[in-house]
Each structure stands twice: as C-alpha cells, then as structure tokens.
Chains A and B, each alone.
Chain A
C-alpha cells in the first residue's frame, strides 16, 4: 500500500507502485482536473505539482511520490472560491476547449510561487511544456500576467498582516 498526500489530505492506494499518479487521481480519488492527453509527457495536460514543482502525472509512478506534497487543480480553489490563477483564467476567458487549461494553470501557479512578477519570456518558458491546440495562447499569457497581479496583492496583503 502506498500513502499519497494530495491537496493537504492523505490517501491510501493498493495500486501497483509503477501506476501513474494520474490514474490514481482520476480513477480512485475522482480528482478529474488533471487530464489524460498523450500519456507520453509531451502535451502537459496531466500536469500537477509535487512539492510545488510541475510534474507530468501520466509519467510519474506513485512509488516516487509517497513522501511528497501533491497539488492538483482542485487544490488551488473551488468553483465558489477560485484561487488567483483560476480567477485570472476565468476573467480573461483563457480557454476554448479547455482540455489543456488545468496543466497551464498548474504550471502558471508553480511559476508564480517562484517568481510572483514574471516577465513574458519567463511565462513563455514556464508554460512551454504545455501544448494548446485551440490557439488561446495570447489569452493564457494575459491570464498569467493578471494572476501575477493577484499574487502580488495577496503577497503584500500577507506581508502587511504579519507586520
């Protein structure tokens, strides 16, 4: 049995140790934010975070993750209370079919945790492993810029409250 820590809760699974995390997330935990796209680490739609770094959950056996904190799209907020990156994607309407968007949001979130005011080059570099076939890239870029503003407000608010 392997114990995973996902979005702050623990989850025990009897799946084989080489089972990709994505299958456990979707089939056992019913966390359907991360999507199966290619299964080969080439499209990015399965991206989740392990210790705040993006990983392809379709290529990450659960045996690798027992000691790490996994964050999925569901961990960033809810429909009623979306997180800053999710809110920015909604406000910019940065989705068409939407299949790649969970991966895009996770990568953007990981980037903003590292660098809350990324320039366009940094955003492009961070999102490069995620593919979008609809062509909403310009809206996605705008959404990440907008989320960056949200992140900075949040950070400065947090800074003030601790003073």
Chain B
C-alpha cells in the first residue's frame, strides 16, 4: 500500500511538473528569411562540414527527395515520425525562423511556435554543441535553396501523439549541460568527444534505449538495434576480432575498406559517406576518442582467429556446404583483389548478439554508394530458403567465432525475409 501511495505521489508530482513545463514554451516571432548574402562564407562552409558530421541530411531528406526538404519516414515503437523540412522555405520549412528560434530548437527541442519536438530529432545530444557551431549550421541551412514540401503528419499512437507529454520526457531525460571537456584527455580526444557526444550523436544508434526511447547513460555506446540493423558496441567490450587502431577507425569512418574489419554498411554507410567529405582533423579526432573508449583486452588472440580459419567443415552440414559453394570463393582466398571478401574470422557481424546484420548482408549483399568505387558482394535473397539461411548463419557463427548459436535466429530470418528490404547500403537509421 505504501509503495502504491509513493508511486501515486510521484506520478502526481511528475504530471504537475509536466503541465507546468508544457504550458511554458512560447512562440518566437516569425522573421523574414535572412538574406543569404548576409552570412559570411567561411561560417557557411563551417556549417556545411558540421551538417555532414551531424548527418542531418540523412533523416531530413526523403528517398528521391530534395536535400533537407524533409518527409522521410522514421519508424519508432510508437508509430511513424516524418522528418521536417529544414530548408528556408517560409511556409513548409524554417524560412521564418530567427537564429534564436533555431538555437532553441537545437537546445530545447521546441519549434518556432513553441511546440515540443520528438526526440527522434536528437536535441538531447545537441545540448552539448557550442552556440557558435549551432549558428554556423543556421547559416548553412538558411543559405540553401528553399524547397516547398510539406512533410506528412506523424502517425503516432495515442498517447504518444500528444506533444505536451514530451515535456515530461524532457524533464526525465534532457540534460541541458554543454560539453564540459574530458579531464585527462588531450585536445584531439576532447575534440572527438565533443563531436561524438554532441553533433555526430553516435549514441542515437549505438547506445541502448529504454522503453521511452531515451538512451541509457550508463550503457553509453554499448550497442543497439536500429531499423533492422544492429549498431554494435563501440565502447568497452567491442565485438571485433582484433582491436581497432585509430587509423583503421578513421579509414572505416570515411567509407574505406579496412583489412581485418571490413567496410561501413547499413545505416553506417551514409554516415561514412558524409564523413568522407569533412576535414581530416575532425575524423581523426572522432577516431581517437572512440579508440580511447574501446577496451584493450577485447581482442581475441591471433591463434584463436587463425585457428578458426582453415578448419574444414563436416560435409554433412548444410551450412558448411553452402559456405564452400557460395561464399568461400571470395571470403577464403579470393582469386581477385576486387572480390576479396573479409575473411569471416574477422567479422564483427558474427560476434554481435543478434544475427540481424549477417542476415541483411547475406540477403542484400554489399554495394558501394551510387557512383563510388568499393567492394561489392552479391545479395543471396531468393537463392537461399529460410532454412538454408539459418543453417548458413549458424554454421558461420560457430566455425568462425566459436560462440554459442544465436537464440533468435529463426525469428530474425523469418522477419527479414518477409520484409525483403532493399540493398544493404540503402537502409538508414536515426
């Protein structure tokens, strides 16, 4: 009884606070779109690099749509959210937003009219960003071509469709502190931490979320499922066969092929493509910070890795037969450098807690971004039955990592097969 009473009081307090918080936001007066000429070129260029680091275009651009004009569907456990138009169109975009309104949206998750924005827009990361960087982003966005495009209305279930409730979410989960800097870290690592925790919002995919979709602070970058891909742990115990070096991370983050690790795929592919267009120092800084988060003792020994490779399978195993006939030609001593697949003993996808990524890769293959050079793997959707896919995936996991079979493999294969998603590089996530 006492516990129930306590919970009731806590809920009441929370609700009252939420109401108080909810009624407070005010509209910020509409302005005439600032003259693009009024922004300094260097600031705009800086803003462009920041927008690439923030991966803004990824969510704010619909498939086949104009850049930043919104409309992309973002699935959530509560329904679909449609990304907004952030071109300076006065009616459907942010053309009437002042610098102050833009800053407030980034820091407080409120639109110009004072409506709460859903945290699919990761303002809980942007609170870390310096005001001058926010202003540079504003300069960049306000100098884009305005595009008239009304994003579809969100399709969220009750009560998640009620924006005032987001005030409560913010009370619970929005940390308003700017980036404070890391003690005991050099300038490069600090710069990386500033970008990773703030604008780049890596935790948006890589940090596990609670039931209300807030990132669990004590599991920072520990791995999470996002739009049918698993964003692996990139801090602490990392599911890699060999430890990532800073240089390998920098190559990976810019979309290059990394021996012993592979190439950015799925939701990470567009991130890497964007990062390939920003200054090297920022990528090096991000790599240094991420490398500093990875534990040293995660790597398996060389003997364990090489021991797995070359061990011949039992020919009665369907998975072994499929690997030998369909995979080994590229993944095991490929005849062509252009078709050299990752030796699977190095595969991260085989070491993560879910077969999602492996199934995505087998079904849809690997393609470099449109018009870019890179490694190619054909997709095997249609070639493998569900049973064969399960047999192959289980065999690969056992042979190349020695780990226990995935418990959920049957359901993952079934779900992926019914969805029949498009090419591996196309899928995106926030």
CA distance in complex: A44, B283 (Å) = 37
Q: How far is the CB of B381 from chain A (nearest CB, A)?
A: 8
With contacts A18-B325, A20-B325 taken as known, whether A63 is within 8 angstroms of B318 at the C-beta atoms is yes
Establish whether residues A63 and B378, one from each chain, have CB atoms under 8 Å apart when the complex forms. Answer: no
Mark each residue of chain A from 103 to 137: 1 if its CB lies under 8 Å from any CB of chain B, else 0. Answer: 00000000000000000000000000100000000
Tell yes or no: A60 within 8 A of B by CB. Answer: yes
Residues of chain B from 352 to 376 with CB closer than 8 A to chain A in the complex: 376
Could you tell me the distance between the alpha carbons of A59 and B378 in the complex, rounded to whole angstroms? Answer: 10
Q: Closest B-chain residue to A17, C-beta based?
A: B321
* A-binding segment of B161-169, B215-223, B382-390, B398-406: B382-390
Q: Check if A64 is an interface residue, CB within 8 A of chain B.
A: yes
Minimum distance in angstroms from A34 CB to a CB of chain B: 14
Structural contact, B322 and A56, CB atoms closer than 8 A: no
Residues of chain B within 8 A of A79, CB atoms compared: none
Whether A54 lies near B321 (C-beta < 8 A) is no
Q: Report yes or no: A59 in contact with B382, Cβ–Cβ below 8 A.
A: no
Most buried by A among B326, B335, B382: B326
User: Which of B322, B329, B376 touches A64 (beta carbons < 8 Å)?
Assistant: B322
> Which one of A39, A51, A67 lies within 8 Å of B329 (CB-CB)?
A39
Is B324 an interface position by the 8 A CB rule? yes
Given contacts A40-B330, A63-B318, contact A50 B382 (CB under 8 A): yes
Q: Do A64 and B382 touch across chains, with their CB atoms under 8 A apart?
A: no
A39 to B383, CA, bound (A): 16
Q: In whole angstroms, how far apart are the Cα atoms of A56 and B381 in the complex?
A: 11
B382 contacts A56, C-beta separation under 8 Å: no
B-contacting residues, A27-48, CB 8 Å: 38-42
The reply to whether B326 and A60 contact each other, CB–CB distance below 8 Å, is yes
Asked if A156 lies at the interface with its beta carbon under 8 angstroms from chain B, I say no
Does A140 have its Cβ within 8 Å of any Cβ on chain B? Answer: no
Give Cα distance in the complex from A94 to B376, angstroms.
27
Q: Report Cα–Cα, A8/B245, bound state, in Å.
A: 55
State whether B376 touches A42 (Cβ < 8 A): yes
Smallest Cβ-Cβ distance to A54: which chain B residue: B382
Say whether, besides A39-B329, A40-B329, A63 and B382 are in contact (CB < 8 Å).
no
User: A2-24: contact bitstring with B at CB < 8 Å (1 yes, 0 no)?
Assistant: 00000000000000011110000
Which residues of chain B are near A59, meaning CB under 8 Å? 325-326, 329, 378, 380, 383
B315 touches A129 (CB 8 A): no
For residue A73, CB closer than 8 A to chain B, the reply is no
B37 sits at the interface (CB 8 A): no
Is A142 part of the contact surface with B, judged by Cβ < 8 Å?
A: no
**From residue 318 to 342 of chain B, which have CB atoms closer than 8 A to chain A?**
318, 321-322, 324-326, 329-330, 334-336, 338-339
Q: Are A63 and B322 in contact (CB under 8 A)?
A: yes
A150 interface residue per 8 A CB criterion: no
Evaluate contact between B329 and A60: CB separation under 8 angstroms: no
**Residues of chain B lying within 8 A (CB to CB) of residue A38:** 336, 339
Q: Which residues of the partner chain A approach B335 to less than 8 Å between Cβ atoms?
A: 39-40
- Residue among A40, A55, A61, A129 making CB contact with B321, cutoff 8 Å: A61
B341 to chain A, nearest CB (A): 9
A53: Cβ under 8 A from any B Cβ: yes
A19 partner residues in chain B, CB cutoff 8 A: 325
Q: Which 6 A-B pairs have the closest CB atoms?
A: A61-B325, A53-B382, A41-B378, A18-B325, A18-B324, A55-B383
A residues with a Cβ closer than 8 A to B are 17-20, 38-42, 50-51, 53-56, 59-64, 67, 129
Apart from A42-B378, A63-B321, what are 9 other A-B pairs with CB-CB below 8 Å? Answer: A17-B325, A38-B336, A39-B335, A40-B335, A40-B336, A41-B377, A61-B322, A63-B325, A64-B322
Binding site for A on B (CB under 8 A): 315, 318, 321-322, 324-326, 329-330, 334-336, 338-339, 376-378, 380-385, 388
* Complex A-B: 24 CB contacts under 8 Å: A18-B321, A18-B325, A20-B325, A38-B336, A39-B335, A40-B336, A40-B378, A41-B378, A42-B338, A42-B376, A50-B383, A53-B382, A53-B383, A54-B382, A55-B382, A55-B383, A56-B378, A59-B329, A59-B383, A61-B322, A62-B325, A63-B322, A64-B325, A64-B385
